[in-house]
Structure 1
Amino acid sequence: MKFATLATLAIIATLLIVLTLLWRHWRRSVRADYIRTYSFPPALYEKLRKRRPKLALKDCQLVGRALRQFFLAYLQGGCRYVSMPSQVTDDLWHELILYTRHYDNFCKKAFGGFLHHTPAVVLSRSKQNNSGLRRIWWLTCREESIDPRKPLRLPLLFAIDKKLNITDGFVYVPDCRGIRRSDDTGSSTPFCGGDFSSSDFDGSTDGFGDWSDSGDSSDGGCGGGCGGGD
């Protein structure tokens, strides 16, 4: 009798776990669909064009796609710390945040909590930023079916600065073995997608590939707050 009771409890516990996982998956799908179909404020692209006068409307719309990719990667990564790899996408993100109530509402629906702004960065001596970049690299590669360890092309978020000829943008190439950086700013040589899977740069690949569901909250979002900022 006791054995039967324990077996029943085990079955119930298993069912609860399965139902919880299904709920998380469903909730994340709802949030991802919201990000994909989200309409930016009508004047947002015009504000970006004031910052970047050389951009045409279609260029701004492409930047909007890159920002969606960033938001989706953040969601799919369990709302762990992320870093922004694109200067022009960072510009659009910053303009969106200035629509304070609009952005706050977006974050609640997309992530379950507020996503704080982080400035655009490249691999450097900052392990936190490096971890955030590697996480974004892994997730955007996965979205575009790119091998993150041996990339033959770049995800949009990492390619867009070069594609739009952004003056102060970060120029990436999939693999630049044999190219040596003259300094940490990348002013003379491009940055390499292949570096994200290497431990040679800072001795660590923290954040690379840890996109599993293990860090999710029960509602498929960030819960009380999001870890995109400091």
Structure 2
Amino acid sequence: MTALSSLTFRKRITALQWARRLVWYVAIVAAAAMQSVGVLVFGLVIAAVLSGALKAWQQSARRQFIREARLPPFLLDKLRGLYPQLQPRDTELVVRGLRQFFMAHLRSKRAFVGMPSKVVDAAWHEFILHTQAYQQWCRYAFGGMLHHTPAEVLGRSAKRNDGLRRTWYWACKEESIDPRQPSRLPLLFALDAKFAIAGGFSYVPDCRDIDRAAGSGAHCGTSFGDTGSDSSTSDSGDAGGFGGSEPSSGDGGSSDSSSDSGSGCGGGGCGGGGD
């Protein structure tokens, strides 16, 4: 994705933001000029419909921006400096994982999302250090700042557990994976194990696989859909629907996902115990 294309995304998102404001302004001014309660109500209804349509269009533009807009190229070099074992194509996978995390934040309506990967967290942190570029990215991607929180796993904090469940849910949706019955891992949850990141978090898709990997320290994807199986997840806050996300339809699909079922790194590609 070229810098020119990124600029086009930004112009489109900004134009849609101003269009939503203009719709409300015109509706209120027109209704006030008519001095009629009926016209005012009608104008506000029309404005609400148009504003809703523009908001949906803007959200679609934000999703495309996150998936395709250019990220600072220095992130790749920074990652290789932190993790010398990474090859250039490996760092590109990590950046894709970062995009997946950003997408989870946007699609959860900017609710808190937890970071499940040490190596992706490192990329995120390096991006944040480039303050102006990161602030600008967040403005176009989300409409506001996404503040950093360290990588983590399910624990005793209801808020953090909910955040991780949201991330799991939307990362699965991006790759057409059923979040309740995953056959493989989404990219974001597979990278630490694939690249043998020191202190990283290793996941397997199904909790039943933990028994076969006893002593590995692996975490499991299906635990994100279980809010009462043990003491570490019973205090789950609003996570009955994966941290307040929309209920799973059972097919794990995503109506607007740009990824196909083979794009992730779960199962035999990147997930579980690595390669």
Task: Report if the CA contact (8 A) 2:163-2:243 is conserved.
Answer: no
Q: Residue 151 of structure 1 aligns to a residue in which SS?
A: coil
DSSP-derived class of the 1:33 partner: helix
2:244 counterpart residue number = 210
User: How far, CA to CA, are the matches of 1:54 and 1:90 in structure 2?
Assistant: 17
**1:144-223 counterparts in 2 under 5 A?**
144-177=175-208, 179=210, 188-199=216-227, 200-201=229-230, 202-203=233-234, 204=236, 206-207=238-239, 208=242, 210-211=244-245
2:78 is matched with 47
Q: Give 1:11 deviation, angstroms.
A: 5.7
- Whether the 8 Å CA contact 1:36–1:68 is kept in 2: the answer is yes
Corresponding residue for 2:254? none
By how many angstroms is 1:179 displaced? 3.5
Provide the rounded CA distance (Å) in 2 between the counterparts of 1:40 and 1:165.
25
The answer to whether the Cα contact below 8 Å between 1:197 and 1:205 also exists between their aligned partners in 2 is no
Higher relative contact order (CA 8 A, sep 6+): 1
8 Å contact from structure 2 (residues 162, 243) kept in 1: no
Code of the aligned partner of 1:29: S
TM-score (norm 1): 0.80
Larger Rg belongs to: 2
State which drifts further: 136-145 or 57-66: 136-145
CA distance, structure 1, for counterparts of residue 197 and residue 67 of structure 2: 25
Cα 1:57–1:81 shift into 2, 3 Å: same
Preserved contact between residue 196 and residue 205 of structure 1 (Cα < 8 Å): no
* Cα RMSD (Å): 2.2
Does the CA-based 8 Å contact 2:159-2:237 persist in structure 1? Answer: no
In the alignment, structure 1 residue 101 sits paired with structure 2 residue 104: no
Distance 1:187 1:117, change over 3 A: farther
Any conservation in 2 of the 1:149–1:197 contact (CA below 8 Å)? Answer: yes
**Residues in 2 aligned to 1:124 and 1:157: alpha-carbon distance in whole angstroms:** 19
Partner-residue secondary structure (3-state), 2:201: coil
Instruction: Please report how far the alpha carbon of residue 57 of structure 1 lies from its aligned counterpart in structure 2 after TM superposition.
Output: 0.7
Letter in structure 2 aligned against 1:206:
D
User: What are the Cα deviations for residues 118-144 of structure 1, in whole angstroms up to 9, with x where unaligned?
Assistant: 100000111111010001111111111
User: Which amino acid in 2 is paired with 1:31?
Assistant: R
Whichever residue aligns with residue 89 of structure 1, its letter is V
- Over the matched positions of the two proteins, sequence identity in percent amounts to 48
Per the TM alignment, residue 24 of structure 1 is displaced from its structure 2 partner at its CA by 1.5
Helix, strand or coil: the match of 1:170? Answer: coil
1:28 to 59, 73, 97: 59
Runs of 4+ in 1 over 6 A off after TM superposition: 5-10
SS at match of 1:148: coil
Deviations 1:184-217 (A, max 9, x none): xx974210100000022421362316235xxxxx
Partner of 2:159: 128
In the comparison of the two structures, how many residue pairs are matched?
203
Q: Secondary structure at the match of 2:208?
A: coil
Q: Distance in 2 between matches of 1:106 and 1:23?
A: 21
